[in-house]
RNA sequence: GGUUCCGUAGCUCAGUUGGAUAGAGCAACAGCCUUCUAAGCUGUGGGUCGAGCGUUCGAACCGCUCCGGAAUCACCA
């Protein structure tokens, strides 16, 4: 049952019985704030023009009507214009039974919509860094969240494997590499190629210096540096499919992909489709022709094609070079078009940094002007903020880039040290210690990044390692591990765990493992006899039942941070409960059973929520 | 200059379509392990929600104007 719907319908009926038909926006219902008694609150101000009474009188009138007519409403109180309604314990018991019995809790029914989400999109000339980590984690998590919202999700990666930057690495390797390979150097492929990209830049700068010393202007020197001219020559050869250049390109890209695969695997992200720009960069030209025909685009004297967007507050934008070759926009128009057609997409999401906001604004506008508004409207640029260091932006030239592989390794090492220090690794095999350190280190990193609203610029200070206490991934993982530990102990002690709502199958007659009462009856009985459902337990049930709403909201807003906040709140709340109430030592078997089940459901939802963030949770830590 | 975005505690961040006395974590200080894992729990201090107008019964949230910061406005991708 959807609780919010239930409440708002009940309130609507009460209000309409008292004041006649209402408009939609006149009913404002929200969760009651912690500091007041009650579960849900009606804000009466919008109703006053109907009731023609004071806020207090209106609230009291509706509250009285509801306690008299709605069995689930136990009591109410009025504070200023706010009507706080308290639901009966058995109501929450029934909700809990529903949650426990729902094997796919948090997973929405299929919507039939197909959504493609493109993320990662690396260049093949250097290894991944912290910025890519944010991109990958966001992309993967949003994909998980959309799947949980019932969509068919296609995870796509568009690899930028061509262009002058690739040639720079290739050329530097050819000139200075002495045949070095990942195998010969023991270096990860992407790092090796990245090394030569840096090497290129070093020589390039030296040559510029030399040329300016000879009297050339800086601009001339940049153009005339021999190494740059050679790189451009190499690009031309590549485009002409020169066998030697092409083969080198394939080899070096192969190294990079091997390296990326390792990083992706470490991050726990994957893709359903990988596109290579070398195969798509010629797309989009037919769309340009179409635009010219429709008079949306125009051709300049030098034969280049443009669109004038000044009427929309933007600028004039180039769509095709004078020599007929594509630019970024041409390609993106083409790939967008092809993807919608090939995959029958309902939505297309690009996880790309906010530095490209303008590009996507233009992309959508151009598609719209071409008459593809139905697609344009279903393109979302999931624009995320940069990750900054205390001294500002990461700059590869200044060596302030935080390398993805290094960071991951550091996090795992820190996790291991911390675990050892706390004595958590005693009695563990080496494999277990590895597995837990990896889980916790990555959990800390991922949560740290995903808990921040995607669109905000975020700060990362490499000098202070990421926290493991407080609002962190390990805190949530730890809560899960503690619950699992309790459940293990219960099983070992042979405590009755065969709870009817612990399982997905309906109770079978003759299945002796199950008690005779149903879950709901069990809870209700307990609630009636006052043995179960302490206020803290009701609070936990309330929070548990909000999980689907959190999943929905995270999906609507493409915001893993909403899941993060939810799971943290749940874990925190459970920790307080755990501290105050013993589960295994509870003597009343019925109460103990419910507490075990409550703990089990909290663990389940934590696991499920963390899965949406791409974070694993350990059985012990 | 145009466009887009951001500004909340010393620091890092929440704050769901406008609601009650603005919340967490870190850092600081004070407590809690003979008791299901102390990576935990409890308490204390800490705020002109960048500023000012306006809309409203009610604004951190909506509108306008400033101030401060970021990105972008390439025949790069």
Per-residue pLDDT of A35-94, as tens digits, reads 888 999 999 998 888 888 899 999 999 999 999 999 999 999 999 889 999 998 888 888
Q: pLDDT class for A523, splitting at 50, 70, 90? A: low
Q: What is the rounded CA–CA span in Å between residue A224 and residue A211?
A: 8
In this predicted structure, what is the pLDDT of residue A503? 35
Lookup: nucleotide whose C1' is closest to A553 CA: B16
Decide: CB of A80 under 7 A of nucleic strand B.
yes
Q: Is the pLDDT of residue A518 over 60?
A: no
In this predicted structure, what is the pLDDT of residue A310? 86
Per-residue pLDDT of A252-262, as tens digits, reads 999 999 999 99
Residues of A (95-134) placing their beta carbon closer than 7 angstroms to any atom of strand B are 123
On the CB side of A224, how many CA atoms lie within 13 Å of its CA?
13
Mean pLDDT of all residues belonging to chain A: 89
Q: Could you tell me the distance in Å between the CA of residue A81 and the C1' of nucleotide B53?
A: 29
In this predicted structure, what is the pLDDT of residue A217? 86
- pTM of the predicted model, to two decimals? 0.93
Residues of A (461-480) placing their beta carbon closer than 7 angstroms to any atom of strand B are 467-472, 474-475, 478
Per-residue pLDDT of A262-289, as tens digits, reads 999 999 999 999 999 998 888 888 899 9
Nearest protein residue by Cα to C1' of nucleotide B73 = A315
Lookup: nucleotide whose C1' is closest to A320 CA: B75
Decide: CB of A393 under 7 A of nucleic strand B.
yes
Decide: CB of A81 under 7 A of nucleic strand B.
yes
Q: Work out the average pLDDT over A140-151.
A: 97
Q: Could you tell me the distance in Å between the CA of residue A470 and the C1' of nucleotide B25?
A: 5
- For residue A253, which of A184, A170, A324, A327 has the smallest C-alpha distance? A170
Decide: CB of A311 under 7 A of nucleic strand B.
no
Nearest protein residue by Cα to C1' of nucleotide B38 = A422
Q: What is the rounded CA–CA span in Å between residue A480 and residue A483?
A: 5
Nucleotides of B under 7 A from a protein CB: 2-7, 11-17, 19-21, 24-27, 35-42, 57-58, 70-77
Residue whose token pair is 């830590």: A621
- For residue A347, which of A118, A57, A121, A161 has the smallest C-alpha distance? A118
Are A163 and A219 contacting, i.e. CB atoms less than 8 angstroms apart?
no
Decide: CB of A32 under 7 A of nucleic strand B.
yes
Decide: CB of A43 under 7 A of nucleic strand B.
yes
Decide: CB of A456 under 7 A of nucleic strand B.
yes
Q: What is the 3-state secondary structure (H, E, C) of A15-38?
A: HHHHHCCCCHHHCEEEECCCCCCC
Q: Tell me which of A168 and A218 has the higher pLDDT.
A: A168
Per-residue pLDDT of A300-309, as tens digits, reads 999 999 999 9
ipTM field: 0.95
Helix (H, G, I), strand (E, B) or coil at A155: strand
């Amino acid at each position: 049952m959807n609780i919010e719907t239930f409440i708002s319908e009940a309130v609507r009926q009460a209000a309409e019985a008292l004041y006649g038909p209402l408009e939609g926006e006149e009913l404002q219902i929200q969760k009651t704030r912690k500091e007041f008694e009650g579960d849900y609150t009606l804000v009466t101000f919008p109703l006053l023009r109907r009731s023609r009474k004071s806020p207090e009188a209106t609230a009291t009138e509706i509250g009285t009507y509801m306690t008299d007519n709605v069995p689930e409403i136990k009591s109410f109180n009025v504070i200023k214009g706010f009507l706080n309604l308290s639901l009966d314990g058995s109501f929450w018991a029934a909700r809990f039974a529903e949650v426990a019995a729902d094997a796919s809790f948090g997973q929405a029914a299929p919507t039939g919509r197909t959504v493609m989400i493109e993320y990662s999109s690396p260049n093949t000339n250097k290894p991944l860094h912290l910025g890519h980590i944010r991109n990958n984690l966001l992309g993967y998590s949003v994909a998980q969240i959309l799947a949980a919202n019932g969509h068919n999700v296609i995870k796509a990666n568009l690899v930028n494997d061509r262009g002058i930057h690739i040639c720079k690495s290739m050329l530097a390797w050819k000139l200075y590499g002495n045949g070095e390979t990942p195998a010969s150097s023991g270096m990860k492929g992407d790092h090796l190629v990245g090394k030569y990209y840096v090497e290129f830049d070093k020589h390039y700068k030296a040559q510029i210096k030399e040329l300016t010393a000879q009297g050339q202007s800086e601009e001339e020197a940049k153009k005339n540096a021999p190494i740059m001219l050679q790189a451009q020559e190499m690009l031309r050869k590549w485009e002409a499919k020169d066998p030697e250049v092409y083969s080198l390109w394939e080899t070096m890209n192969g190294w990079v992909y091997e390296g990326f695969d390792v990083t992706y695997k470490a991050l726990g992200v994957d893709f359903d489709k990988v596109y290579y720009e070398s195969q798509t960069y010629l797309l989009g030209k037919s769309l340009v022709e179409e635009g010219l025909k429709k008079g949306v685009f125009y051709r300049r004297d030098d034969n280049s094609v443009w669109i004038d967007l000044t009427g929309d507050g933007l600028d004039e934008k180039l769509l095709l070079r004078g020599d007929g070759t594509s630019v970024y926009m041409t390609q993106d128009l083409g790939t967008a078009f092809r993807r919608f057609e090939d995959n029958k997409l309902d939505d297309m999401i690009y996880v790309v940094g906010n530095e490209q906001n303008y590009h996507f604004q233009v992309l959508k506008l151009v598609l719209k002007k071409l008459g593809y508004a139905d697609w344009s409207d279903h393109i979302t640029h999931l624009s995320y903020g940069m990750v900054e260091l205390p001294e500002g932006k990461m700059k590869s030239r200044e060596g302030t880039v935080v390398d993805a592989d290094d960071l991951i390794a550091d996090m795992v090492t820190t996790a291991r040290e911390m675990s050892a220090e706390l004595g958590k690794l005693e009695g563990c095999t080496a494999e277990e210690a590895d597995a837990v350190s990896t889980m916790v280190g990555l959990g800390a990193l991922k949560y740290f990044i995903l808990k921040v609203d995607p669109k905000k610029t975020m700060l990362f200070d490499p000098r202070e390692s990421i926290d493991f206490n407080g609002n962190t991934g390990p805190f949530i993982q730890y809560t899960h591990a503690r619950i699992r530990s309790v459940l293990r102990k219960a099983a070992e002690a042979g405590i009755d765990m065969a709870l009817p709502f612990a399982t997905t199958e309906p109770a079978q007659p003759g299945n002796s493992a199950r008690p005779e009462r149903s879950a709901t009856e069990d809870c209700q009985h307990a609630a009636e006899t006052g043995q179960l459902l302490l206020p803290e337990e009701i609070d936990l049930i309330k929070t548990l039942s909000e999980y689907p709403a959190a999943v929905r909201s995270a999906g609507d807003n493409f915001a893993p941070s909403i899941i993060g906040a939810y799971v943290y709140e749940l874990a925190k709340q459970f920790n307080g409960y755990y501290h105050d109430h013993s589960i295994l030592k509870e003597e009343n078997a019925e109460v103990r059973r419910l507490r075990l089940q409550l703990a089990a459901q909290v663990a389940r939802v934590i696991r499920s929520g963390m899965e949406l963030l791409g974070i694993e949770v350990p059985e012990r830590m």
